[in-house]
Each structure stands twice: as structure tokens, then as C-alpha cells.
Amino acid sequence: MDLNHGAVREEYQEIRSVFNNGRDHSGITSVLFDSLEELVWTGNQSGYLSSYFGPELQKYTSFKVHHGEIRHMLVNDHGILSLSSNKLCFSARSGLRIFNLSGSDLSDMQCMFQKDETHLWVAGHQGLMLDVDLRKGVISKTIEVDPGTVVMKQSNRYLCCGDTSGKVRLRDPSSLKSEHVLEAHTGTLSDFDVSGNLLVTCGFCSRMGHLAIDRFLMVYDLRTLRAIPLQVAIDPLILKFVPAFTSRVAVVSQNGQFQLHEPGGLVTQSSMMVYHVNTHGSLCTTFDISATCQTMVFGDAGGNTHLWGDTQEKDILFNMYSRETEFAAPIPHLHPLAIDDYSIPLSTFPLPMPNGPPLSDWPAENMVFGDRPTPPIEPEILRTMVVRHFIGYAPNPGSRKRNQVAYPLRDLSLNSQEEENSVPDSPMNRDDDPGNVIPKHYRRVEIKYSKLGVEDFDFKHYNRTSFAGLETHIPNAYCNAMLQLFYFIEPLRVGMQNHLCHREFCMACELGFLFHMLDMSSGQTCQANNFLRAFRTIPEAAALGLVLNDVDESFGNANFPRLIQSWFRFVLQQMHQDTLEPPNVSDGEKDDIQTTTGKPHQMSLIQRLFGSNVQLLSRCRCGKESKRDSTTLLFNLEYPEMSEEKQQGPVSFESVISSSLSREQSMQAWCDQCSRYQPTVQSREVKNLPDILALNCGMEHVKEVEFWKIQQQLLDPPKPEEKSTSLPSSGRFCRYGNTCSRPDCKFRHDRDVASESGRVEVPDEERLNGWVPLSIMISFDSGKMQVTKIDENQKVRCSENEVVYDLLATVGHVQDFKSGGNLVAHIHVGNTYHSRKEGVTCSQWYLFNDFAITPISPNDAVHFSLDWKLPCAVVFTRRDINGRHETAICQRIDDSVLYQDVSLVRRGSVSRDFTPLGPDELPKEGDLVGLDAEFVTLNQEEAEIRSDGTRSTIKPSQMSVARVTVVRGNGQLAGVPFIDDYISTTEQVVDYLTKFSGIKPGDLDATMSSKHLTTLKTTYRKLRALVARKVKFVGHGLKKDFRVINILVPKEQVFDTVELFHLPRQRFISLRFLAWYFLGLTIQSETHDSTEDAKTALQLYRKYEELSSKGEFRKVLKQLYEDGRKSGWKVEEKDY
């Protein structure tokens, strides 16, 4: 029988070890994995706090926070908390001190526990539990607990506190009263950990009057409070549950040995394995496990930090979704200068700030401040002014623009007139600001709101095409450019619309719904409300900082180039997961597929389109090689280093693509053969090319921007001399006329007027060349990749090892400091889209700037002026991509969804005020249904009062649909609702608008509601099914209802009573007044009911048909307005 040690596979091995800084080889007393970033924190006996980035343990920060040893550490969103015996310190991750807390109550402290975002429990041997307010940095409450506490952990029900007597007290988290006491060990308690309903302890026992390490772990079930002893082969000192396997616990001894045990006592191969941490004879003092279970970190008394990693993982991660770590800016390199070179100016040397004023400052006694005279008041204002008391009022004559400065902004420099005239007229419509170099169609567009909201805003002024723009007032609408890019990828557009699953928040489904609206729209704007609603619910998106608040997005405080590239990478991965599983599979079955196989059940649509199989090769200098295969959806452009000593020639974009796909870099890595860290060359080899080559441009560092700018400048034509564009600075004509021979004459001449009037401007995009090619060909020759530029109109016959790509789109960030900047997309729209929208066969480049769409030239799409337009992403597609994938939409909403009446509320008290459709009641084309929707407010409206007293809306309130009711319009059950869904919401509701909606707090909560509660996606599918069956919707104010629901219904299927009973240039009439006037009904007396409103709208439509058939409708409508004005549009209440 072979009992070779190698028969048992080692799960973990040491991958890195570093020596901690500090005085006198201070030992490590505490280690901790950062739960938000890829950092490891260590604290030592000298009070130093150090952090290391990534599995390479690259030093990130190190600073001293205490005078004694650091006993415990915790991290939160704002920084790290460290505890010593008599002081609590809260520091930012960069080392900046937030607050220090010390005092008489803080004595011999041992542990802490953060109960929420603003409060922290701190305890120790002194018998007190301190409640610390993290916002104010003070102790808000003190509670006596006897005896002291050395370890604190929280379970599902209790706050577990361990003391030195070997007992664990289970306290109520609110009152801290002790409810149960567990007699764990006869000696002192060393450590314990909690996971679910299990609590495991280790400690000391009393043997012959002396304390000895207890070889038995005590495993408690917190439901029954019964203990099961578990014997281990090592002396346990520290233990922690392994997060990925809640039933396993890692046990660490004082001499550096550790084991992985099952608390139930089951003996497995992994539990028999004893691992040894090379502490070089020092004692192991502390230990922690990362959230991904891929790494462990140990600290010893010799000051060393040891990182162990999973042997099966090549890309080690501390957290599944860590946010980006902010690094310090690189130190600028100063060129050496000769000390005897007197031609170098003093300003070249960086000098400290002087204490006194510079010698060039004028003394105060030589300076006189003059008051600016008041500008004269216009005669028209004085003529029409009315004085009441001592204040004069006058109507605005309209001679100046709003918020215009009364004083002319005149530069008093000598060359001001010459500089002003030297600015040429803009060929791109710069409006009235000649200093703004950003073309108008690139600037940020905003919706101007009136009292009607966006109803009277002219979107056609910004979009003369048949394609749909996307509105901007929705939170996190910064991704509109990327959504348009996704839409114009034909296989992706079809694949998303063919995908349909039952998950509530599926980004692939919501993207398919959005693409359906963009398909149906003919030049109208659309909103990505539901897609962004699903995006905001993903916790990983918020953890990565992709979900912005209103302030950061409105004022442009975010780093949009970095943000949109992270969004691109995240959304591709998320859609890959959403489309990975087969449709119509329950959540439980999907979990089984993932956990049992560990591999994707099938290749996703995103992987088929964007996926590229790559092989990562690591080669040590000893000759050992290791290979690993993976799939990449997105590549980052890697730019060559710029040489400062000599001028670098032009570098083609194709060579940058080649080096980025087949990247090679040198780094320090662990070599098993050498048993130490060695210089290792890591290279990436692409095995197959994707159908869509997606590239992130980076632009994170100044060097990358400078490199791109240099390449662009080498391609741009030389600028004309300044004298060719400058105009005479004076408005007076020269007395010598055209015979003047002075080249620097400041007066005007006849030839200047003629040349100025006959000047022909050449558009910049026609004469500027872009660095990015419009078409490329990638070929493999003997395993080497070669990227070459080809003409976009060139027809190429490709072999098996050659692929031709055409540029589909580029995404750029327009840097405008006035508006905060915006993201735009240059997209090449192909023949299929023009044929479907306009019935013509052509292709054209367009600029998509939210809801503004402008045709542009190909050169404008690939030319980036780094002064105001920064590249973010470049996307190429195979020339034959449509022939390689399905381009027919075969998925449609199943009619069976109309029969469903499943509610999220599982209790028996659910009231159902509707009758679902029967099998023989399925609506046919042309059938009438009444629809009404009620809403709640998520964000309040933002408005301002102008100086003239008028009210201006800055940002409208954000509405969310809360109830949708659809009633029958035909048949025996006409007027009976067959859909009456209350929509569950996870977002915070600011105002339920109960007076107008009838929705009360708790109606939309599945744990409290007594209504028929369902998801928005389920109700949306029902409405989509009705639209597909071409039924006719009748309602009052349906345009707003469909807008908030985020669905597009053809105009021929909508009969809106607010539009039917309306005269041009007159007010709109409320449903309540129409019902009272025509039907004799009094509705909406106390609150609104969507069923009542939908039935009333149907009756009004029948009345409209009756009057129209008799030819009396126009006459009755005019009489309606006359009677309404007489009554003040008030309804007479009837007494019953």
C-alpha cells in the first residue's frame, strides 16, 4: 500500500513572504484582508500599520498610529480602524488620520466590532463595552459587562463575547444582556469563530495545576446550545471558518502549523494534511482568510508576513469584486543640470515657497482701486417703469439675454484687439463663444423643462435622423454612448431580443427590451429607465463605483474615461453570466449547474461574439514553463514607452494592437523548481480571434495621453502661419489704401475686406487624419500575429489564418470644464439599419451624443484632439460577422403570461381585485382595453426661482410605476380588470403620492403588502404581449404612463382621452371633469383608483365614438370649453 505524501493534493502553498517595517524587528500582532480593495493590512508591536497590494504584496502604505502593539483591526468604506491597549485610531487608507480616541475608559482594550456604518463596539479586560460614534469620533455610550471581553463575533441572533475565563457569552445585540453562557474550556479562551449556527472555540485547559493547550475544539450548535468536541493533531491557537465552505474551519498552531477540519468530525484527505508556514523559528501570532477563500495570510513574531494561495487558482483575488485602489501620483523626474551652466534660468529649479512677498509685488501705497461707474439704464426701461413706494418695476424690454453681464468684458492688454481678431470663425458652429474650441454637436446636451415637463421639448432639433436618441435625466445615464454601441452590433441586438428569462433583474433581458424600443422608434427619443434600474440593483456595480449619485453625474465629478471603461468590462462580464445559462431554467437548477460542474453549461452569446481564447505562458530564467488557458472578452491597449533622450518616430495603431494582444512583461514570481521568487517572463498568446475586437484605450496616465497626442500631431497637417489668419486690429481704414506697403499695418484695407468676405472655410474633419485605421487585417504566420492597415473599401480574399476587421465605433470623452464633460460615440451604421429604418441601402458615420444624433465624416470619428476629446474605447467587427451569427429575431413574448396571477406575497390575506383572462378571452387585433397606471416618487423635483419670479425646473422628479391596471373593453366582462398588478420596488420611495395614486406605505413591500404584488418585469411582459397582439389602448394621459413604464406603443394603437377631448392651444381637461360633464360620474373625490380611471376612460371613448358618428363632436367640444371656463373647471359634488 502506497502511503506517499504526494498522494494527497495540497490545496494551499506559500506564494509570497515579506518582512514588515518597524523598529527592532517588531513582530506582527494583527493581520487583516481588506474587504473592499485588494489590500492586506498588518500591524506590529511598534504601532506601525502597513498595507500591501495584490498577491505580490507590493508595499502600498506604511505609517505609525500607536505607541504600543496593535491588537485588532477593522476596515470600512472610509478607512481602517486600529486598536491598541489604550487608544483607538481611525485612518484613511492613504495614511491620513481621521480621528484618535483615548481616555480613561480606554484601558487594556482587546477587540472591537462594527455593528453598523456609524457605530462601533470596543471592549477589553476592564469590564466595559464602549459604543463609539464613528461620525463624531466620541464615545456615545458605556455599558458594564462582567467579566471583560477579549474576542467579539456576531451570529444570526447573538453578539458572541469571549472572556479569559474560557467562557463564551451569547448577548442580545440590542441590549447586550447575557442570554446564554457556554463553558468552552477549563482554562482561558484563545479564539473562536462563528458561521451560521455553528460556533467553534479553541483555548487552554488545566492540567496538574498548569495551563496547557487544549487539543480539543468545542463545536457548538447555537440552536440547541450543545457542544461536540473535535480533536485535532496540532496545538490550536487561532481558528477561522473558511468563507467559501461554511462547514470547514482552519486551525493554526503557535509553531506555524495549520489544518483544515470539518466541524462534524468527518476525516477527509484535506483534513489529514498538515501545512507548515516557514516562520524561521518564530512564533505564529496572527492569521486571516480572504473573502474569496483563495488566500491566507500569517504573521509571526519575527516581523514576517506570509501569504499562502490556492494551488488551483492562477489569478489570485482577495475579493470577488474589489473597487479600484488609488495609488499615489508618480514622482516627476528632474533632469540633472550642470552647476557651471549660467544660461539656465533660476525658475528651472524647484524652490520652497518664500515666507515674504516677491520683490515684483507693488507696494500698497502705490496702488489705487477705482470704482466702476454704474452703466446707464436703458431709456425703454425708464419710460415703462412704475414706482411703488421706493421700488421701480418695468417689463423686460428683451434687448439683452438672460443672466447677461451688464459691463462689457474688455481686456485692457495692449494686444487684446489683435488676439481677439486672430481667432478665426468656427466652421463647426461655436455659437457666441469664439474661445470655445469644442464643436457644438459635441457639447453636452440638456433638456430644458417647462411646466409640461419634456412634452414640449423639441427633440427633433437635435436629431434629424430616423434613429433613436437616449435621454439624459435618468440616474447613471452616462452609459448612453455604450448602449448605442451595443445596439448597432447586429448579432448582439438580435441575441439580446431573443433572450428571455424569469430573473427579475436580468441585464440581458432589459437590454433586449431597450433594443426593441429602439427598433420601433422612428426618430423619437427613448429612455433606458428599466435597464438602469436593473443595473443599480447589482451590488457588484455599486462596489466597483459604477453607480453614481446625482451630484457626481450632474457636475461631472467622476472620472468618466476610467468609469466608462470599467463599465464596459463589467457589463460584458455580467451579460456573459446572464446569457450563459439556458433560458427558462429556475434559479435552483441554475445554482446546481454551476456548483456541480464548476464550468459553464454552454458558451454564452457574449463569449461567442467578444470571446478570445488566450494562453498565458510563464517562463522562469531556470527554464521552467507553465501554461494556463483563459478567455478574454476585452483587451486593454498597451502603449510603448516614450523615449525622452531622442525624438521617437511615428508608431502605427496596428503595432499597438499587435503588442497589446500578444503582451509580454517581466515580473517577480514564485518558481517551484527554484523554490524562491525569480525574474519571470509572462507572455500572452492569442489562440483565436474574436468576432468583435473590443479595446479599452486606458488614458489613465499622462504618458499615455502624451503618446497618443504625439502620434496624432505627426499625422495632422501643419497649421498655417499666424499672419495668414490675423486681421487688422483697428476698425479705421488706412489712408494709403491698397498701396500701403507696411506688412504690420494696424489699419484696415479694401483687400482685407474682400478677402474676409470671400474666405472659404474648410471643415476640420475633412483635412485632419485620424491615427485609428478604419479597417485592419490580422493574420497568423508561424504562430506570430501581424496587424496591417487596409483600405476600408478594399475587397480582400482571406485565408484561414487571416481576418479582416472594420471599425464599428469609437467612444470618446469630451472634456468641457463648464458642463463637466460628456461621453459620445462615433458609430458606423450599416446597410441593415438604414434599410430597416429608412428603406435605403447605405452606410454612414453618426455622432451619438445622448439624444443628439449628427452625421459625421469617417475622419471625424477617428480623429481625437487630446485637448478636448479623449479616446476611451475602440471596437472593430469582422467584415463577415452577420454571416457567422443569427440575425433573425425569433423570440416573442408568450401569450401565456396574460393568464398568470402569481403574487410575490405568500400570505393568505392577499386581495385580488381582478379576474384573469380565460383561455377563450385572448384579445384580438383591434380589441379595446382600458389602461391606467399609478406612480410613486423616488427623487424630488429640483427647481429654481428666477429673478423675474418665474419658476424653472432644473431636474424633474424621478417616478417609478407602482400599479398597472388593464380592464376589458369588449365582451360580457367589459369593464372588469384582467390585470391589476402592484409593482414591487427595492429602491427608496420619497413620496407615495397617496392622494393622487392611492398607494400607501407597505403596499409595495412583499413582507407587509396585502395587494397582488408582482415584479415590473412580469407586468412589462404582459403589456408587451398586448402590444404584439395589436390591441388598442384607451386611457387618460397614456403618454406619461407609457413613458414611466418605459414601453413604446405605436401611435395607431393608442387612444388618449386627454388628446381626444382637446382643442389646439387650449388647456388639457382632467379626467374627473370629463367624467362629470359627459357621464354624470363623480370620481377621484378622495383618492385615485386606477381601475376606476381605466373604466371611466373607456366610457369616455365610447361617448367620443357616439358623438363623432353623429357629427356633433366638434360642437360639443367647444361647448365643453365654454362651460368649463364658466364653472372654473370645478366639479359639482352631488349629495346622496
3-state secondary structure of 615: strand
* C-alpha distances in Å from residue 677, one per residue of 14, 295, 313, 623, 673: 11, 18, 18, 14, 10
**Angle at the Cα of 433 from the Cα atoms of 432 and 439, rounded to 5 degrees:** 100
Rounded to whole angstroms, how far apart are CA atoms 246 and 240? 10
* C-alpha distances in Å from residue 560, one per residue of 549, 700, 705, 941: 14, 11, 15, 25
| 932 labelled binding-site residue | yes
Rounded to whole angstroms, how far apart are CA atoms 1070 and 801? 68
Residue 394 backbone phi and psi in degrees, to 5 = -150, 145
3-state secondary structure of 670: strand
**Angle at the Cα of 194 from the Cα atoms of 189 and 198, rounded to 5 degrees:** 105
* Cβ atoms of residues 282 and 305 within 8 Å: no
| 764 labelled binding-site residue | no
Question: In a 10 Å sphere around its CB, with 0-12 CB exposed, 13-18 middle and 19+ buried, how is residue 871 labelled?
Answer: buried
Cell of 645: 533622450
3-state secondary structure of 625: strand
* Cβ atoms of residues 776 and 654 within 8 Å: yes
Rounded to whole angstroms, how far apart are CA atoms 632 and 627? 16
Give me the sign of the Cα torsion angle 927, 930, 934, 935: positive
DSSP-derived secondary structure letter, 528: -
Cell of 469: 436618441
Question: In a 10 Å sphere around its CB, with 0-12 CB exposed, 13-18 middle and 19+ buried, how is residue 360 labelled?
Answer: exposed
Q: Among 1075, 171, 1030, which residue's Cα sits nearest to residue 520?
A: 1030
Q: Among 73, 67, 87, 23, which residue's Cα sits nearest to residue 43?
A: 73
Rounded to whole angstroms, how far apart are CA atoms 762 and 745? 27
Backbone conformation region of residue 476, classed left if phi is above 0, alpha if psi is from -120 to 50, else beta: left
Q: Integer distance in angstroms from the first to the last C-alpha of the chain?
A: 98
* Cβ atoms of residues 780 and 762 within 8 Å: no
| 948 labelled binding-site residue | no
Residue 736 backbone phi and psi in degrees, to 5 = -85, -10
Rounded to whole angstroms, how far apart are CA atoms 233 and 251? 10
Q: How many C-beta atoms surround the C-beta of residue 1129 within 10 A?
A: 14
Rounded to whole angstroms, how far apart are CA atoms 4 and 392? 102
DSSP-derived secondary structure letter, 251: E
* Cβ atoms of residues 206 and 167 within 8 Å: no
Cell of 574: 455580467
| 934 labelled binding-site residue | yes
Rounded to whole angstroms, how far apart are CA atoms 621 and 780? 27
Cell of 361: 509685488
Rounded to whole angstroms, how far apart are CA atoms 934 and 1087? 11
Rounded to whole angstroms, how far apart are CA atoms 512 and 483? 11
Run of H or E including 286? strand 284-289
Q: Among 913, 921, 910, 961, which residue's Cα sits nearest to residue 938?
A: 961
* C-alpha distances in Å from residue 144, one per residue of 152, 160, 1064: 15, 16, 76
Rounded to whole angstroms, how far apart are CA atoms 1124 and 1133? 15
Rounded to whole angstroms, how far apart are CA atoms 822 and 386? 46
Rounded to whole angstroms, how far apart are CA atoms 471 and 480? 8
Binding residues for a divalent metal cation: 932, 934, 1041, 1093
Binding residues: 932, 934, 1041, 1093
